[in-house]
Structure formats: structure tokens, C-alpha cells
Amino acid sequence: MKFFIKTYGCQMNVNDSEKMGDILKKRGFSAADDENDADIIIINSCAVREKPQEKIFSFAGRLPKGKKIIVAGCVAQSEKQKILERNPNIDYIVGTHQYYQIDRIADEILAQKSKGDRGVKAQFSKVWQEAVPDIASRISRVSGYISIMEGCDNFCSYCIVPFTRGREKHRPFENIMAEAEYLATAGYKEIILLGQNVNSWEDKEKNMEFPDLLERLSAAPAVDVKWIRFITSYPGYYDEQLIEVMARHEKIARNIHFPVQSGSTRVLKKMNRSYTRAQYLDIVRRFKKKIPDITFSSDFIVGFPGETENDFELTLSLLEKVEYENIFSFLYSPRRFTSAFKLKDDITPEIKKQRLYRLQELQKNIQFKNNKTLLGKTIEVLVTGPHPKAAGEVIGRTVNYRVVNFKSDTPVGEFTRVLIERVGPYSLRAKEHAARAPYCRTLAPG
């Protein structure tokens, strides 16, 4: 019997799909190349905005008849039984904390002659559920995901995640360390620590907080990887210890995803974010002072209820101050269960779209300006994969998480040095160096 997993949403969902695939393989199922080739299709869903939520229904609606369909993940958790009203062909709904039962569920629905219990299994667990996928079940042989916490206690007023992932659960230190060692021994070059709110991680028994975890992973000889990354950190508090640990260990990659959402303190307050514009800028300034080659990326929501032109211009000016490496920007999407849902979604779609366009245009100019300063520089990159469209080309990533395209036969997972030859706002083109030329480690602007 074969399965296929279609994954929507964030890296945590990707990692959960790796875990589900691994559990199914251990039960004797094999992975299909696509949905047509599979007996069971698992849709690992995302509920964060309406668009990704709708995608799961259009995907499920297009599936060939006779397949067993399971909806897992965040929409399964938030919508539960309601999903069946939209698509009665769905065989099973499994919440975010029940994925580890996927083997039993798969057996059960394959044995069913008619659609019986659709088993909405969607209760939250209070404890961390351990599941470490084997290497063969991971999507990358180069960058390995390690979930360190799940859930969120912040309740930002627009966000459904606390209702799809539950309260925070933190994984014990030993288990994180063991997975990091496992990946390093298997030859992984980079580990990426995952969580909705990684910098609130703690191991109470060990009296450890997130900077202690980074310190221990970076200093452990057995975690012989080149780069350690983490996503996502909440910029709600200033943490000198985190900055110091990062400054001390070159292994910790010089890019932080630090989602600000808005540049207006008034809007941040309505979003229930716990920091002001000035506090956010102060944290960024302190990072840059101690770690001059650090770069930042961020998420932005435009058109939050009541966002004025003045609020929006504050977001634009924040963009110019921080000079982000990269941003992800979204139109505000009202979500059921959240406290902002009862606010009037009063910014018209036209204004929302215009603001999104202006934000993205400004970022494009900032990136283009920064990229031009990189022309003629030599930089170290990790080859992460072949270029999906251009034969003979590969994609590499810098320590600042920038994508570089170049011709090369350097194997995936190896490091090489490239000379930046051409730049656009969104991409860097380079030529590979034959010799081990001296290089700049980071691509911080300036």
C-alpha cells in the first residue's frame, strides 16, 4: 500500500509530514511519487490565512475517486467535523497532536468498506510527543529540521496558531541534543531548530533557556554541523544572553527571522504584540552592534483593522531602518476564534492590495541596493540542490540565508566559493571559484 503526503504551511508542518511519512514506512507502507499513484493521501493543512485553508479543499476536490483521504494538521484541528460538510469524501480527520497515530488510522480506514467513523481526533496534548524521523524520511539530506517546541501562548489578536497548535510544549534538552547528534553523524551540514516561538523554549528540570540550548548545541563536538539556524523567534523581549551566545559562536547562522508585523506601535498594541516600534528597533540595534554581519528577515501584515495611512507609513519607514534581507508580507485575513475576528475588517481590498504593493516595491528597492554592494565579492555557499529549471546549475545558500544561482558540479551538501557576478532585487548570480580563494563569510550589506 502506498501513501502520498501533500503539505501546506510552515516548516513545522513539513517536519510533521516527515514524521508521519516515517511512521507509515515503519508500518510497511511505501511512499508514492504523487497522489495518483497512492492508496492513501494525507493533506497536511495550514489554517493561518483563508487562502492556504481554501487550497486544501480545492486539492481534495481534484483527487481521483477511490482514494482514501486524511486531512491532518491545522485546519483539521481548527475546523474538525466542519471539513466534512465541504467535502464528504474525506475519510478521516486527525488533529495536530495525533499525527503519531497515523499508522493505526491508515490501517483502520483501509479496512473500512464504507465511510464509518471519520474519527475527529483533535484533542490537544499537554506533553511533548516524541517522534524522530529516520534520515530516509527527511526531505533534505543537507538541512535537518529539529522541532524544539510546539504551540504558542502569545495569542496575537489576528492569529489562529494558538487554536491549532495549543499551548506551548517544550521538548526536553537531551532529546534535542540526541537528534542534533544523529543528524550530524548522518552528514547534515545545517540544523534548523523549529517552533512557533523558539526563544521561549526552556527545560525547567535542567534550568535551561533558549540561549543555553544554543550554547550547548554550538559547543558540542558531536554536533559537527557547520550552521545552526532557528525559526521563529518572537521579538517581544530583549535578551542580552541570546545576543552574546550568537556573537560567540560563528556556527549560529547570521540571519534571524524576527517578525515585526507592523511598524506602528498603535497597530502592534491592537495586534496584542508585546513590544513597541521603539523596543523592536532597539533590539535590532543591539544585535547589529554586537554582531555587525547579522541580517534580519520579517513577516508583515498589511490592512489590519483600523490601520491608517500614517500607521502604514510607519511600517514603510521601519523597513528602511532595519534594511531587511528578506520579507514575507500578507494581506490581513480574518480568522475565526481569534480576538480580532470581531473587529470590523474595514480596510478595503483595494487599499490592502495597494499597501501590499507599496511595501513589496520598497523592499525590492532595498534588496536591489544591498545586492549591488555585493558585486565582485567572493562568498562561501552551501550547495542545497540542483536548479529546478536550468540544467547544470545549482542553488546555494549563504550563511545569511541568501539564495545564489551558479553553474557547478559540486555535489549537493558541499560548500564552495563563488564570485557574485550579477544581481537583481531577488537573486544573485555567481561564478564558482576553481581555487580556494579568500572569501567573505557573510553578505551583510556595506
Asked if residue 198 binds ligand SAH (CB under 6 A), the reply is: no
Asked if 189 and 138 touch (Cβ cutoff 8 Å), the reply is no
Place of cell 473587529: 343
d(CA 108, CA 103): 9
Phi, psi of 416 (to 5 degrees): -150, 175
The bridge status of strand 92-94 relative to strand 68-72 is: parallel
410 touches, from ligand SAH, ligand SF4, ligand F3S, none (C-beta below 5 to 8 Å by class): none
Of 63, 83, 105, 159, the residue at the interface with ligand SF4 (CB under 6 A) is 159
Neighbours of 401 (CB within 10 A): 19
Asked if residue 328 binds ligand SF4 (CB under 6 A), the reply is: no
The half-sphere exposure of 242 on its side-chain side, counting CA atoms within 13 A, is 22
Q: Which stretch binds ligand SAH (CB under 6 A): 23-31, 74-82, 157-165, 382-390?
A: 157-165
- What is the nearest approach in angstroms of ligand SF4 to the Cβ of residue 304? 12
Phi, psi of 27 (to 5 degrees): -90, 0
The DSSP-derived string for 367-383 is HHHHHHTTTT-EEEEEE
- What is the nearest approach in angstroms of ligand SAH to the Cβ of residue 196? 4
Place of cell 540561549: 211
Asked if residue 151 binds ligand SF4 (CB under 6 A), the reply is: no
Amino acid at residue number 286: R
Q: How many helices (H) and strands (E) does the chain have?
A: 13, 20
**Set of cell numbers at residue 431:** 561564478
Number of residues counted as binding ligand SF4 (CB under 6 A) = 10
Question: With respect to ligand SAH, which residue has the nearer C-beta, 358 or 407?
Answer: 358
299 touches, from ligand F3S, ligand SAH, ligand SF4, none (C-beta below 5 to 8 Å by class): ligand SAH
Question: With respect to ligand F3S, which residue has the nearer C-beta, 156 or 225?
Answer: 156
**Set of cell numbers at residue 385:** 540542490
Neighbours of 137 (CB within 10 A): 18
Place of cell 470590523: 344
164 touches, from ligand SAH, ligand SF4, ligand F3S, none (C-beta below 5 to 8 Å by class): ligand F3S
Q: Which of residues 186-205 bind ligand SF4 (CB under 6 A)?
A: 196-197
Asked if residue 330 binds ligand SAH (CB under 6 A), the reply is: yes
**Set of cell numbers at residue 412:** 549537493
Q: Which of residues 205-234 bind ligand F3S (CB under 6 A)?
A: none
DSSP state of 136: G
Q: Which helix (H) or strand (E) holds 356?
A: helix 349-372
Q: Which of residues 174-193 bind ligand F3S (CB under 6 A)?
A: none
d(CA 101, CA 122): 12
Of 60, 161, 193, 194, the residue at the interface with ligand SF4 (CB under 6 A) is 161
Of 5, 159, 319, 420, the residue at the interface with ligand SAH (CB under 6 A) is 159
Q: Which stretch binds ligand F3S (CB under 6 A): 10-18, 246-254, 269-277, 295-303?
A: 10-18
- What is the nearest approach in angstroms of ligand SF4 to the Cβ of residue 82? 21
Q: Which residues contact 140 (CB under 8 A, 6 or more apart)?
A: 384
Q: Which stretch binds ligand F3S (CB under 6 A): 158-166, 219-227, 321-329, 415-423?
A: 158-166
Neighbours of 249 (CB within 10 A): 14
Place of cell 511595501: 359
Question: With respect to ligand SF4, which residue has the nearer C-beta, 142 or 331?
Answer: 331
155 touches, from ligand SF4, ligand SAH, ligand F3S, none (C-beta below 5 to 8 Å by class): ligand SF4
Asked if 160 and 48 touch (Cβ cutoff 8 Å), the reply is yes
**Set of cell numbers at residue 321:** 531602518
Of 137, 157, 199, 232, the residue at the interface with ligand SAH (CB under 6 A) is 232
Of 23, 46, 383, 444, the residue at the interface with ligand F3S (CB under 6 A) is 46
Asked if residue 198 binds ligand F3S (CB under 6 A), the reply is: no
Asked if residue 322 binds ligand SF4 (CB under 6 A), the reply is: no
d(CA 433, CA 410): 11
Of 161, 213, 383, 428, the residue at the interface with ligand SAH (CB under 6 A) is 161
User: 218, exposed or middle or buried, with CB in 10 Å at 0-12, 13-18, 19+?
Assistant: middle
332 touches, from ligand SAH, ligand F3S, ligand SF4, none (C-beta below 5 to 8 Å by class): ligand SAH
- What is the nearest approach in angstroms of ligand F3S to the Cβ of residue 126? 18
Q: Rule CB under 6 A: which residues touch ligand F3S?
A: 9-10, 12-13, 46-48, 73-74, 161, 164-165
Q: Rule CB under 6 A: which residues touch ligand SAH?
A: 48-49, 158-159, 161, 196-197, 232, 234, 259, 261, 299, 301, 330, 332-333, 335
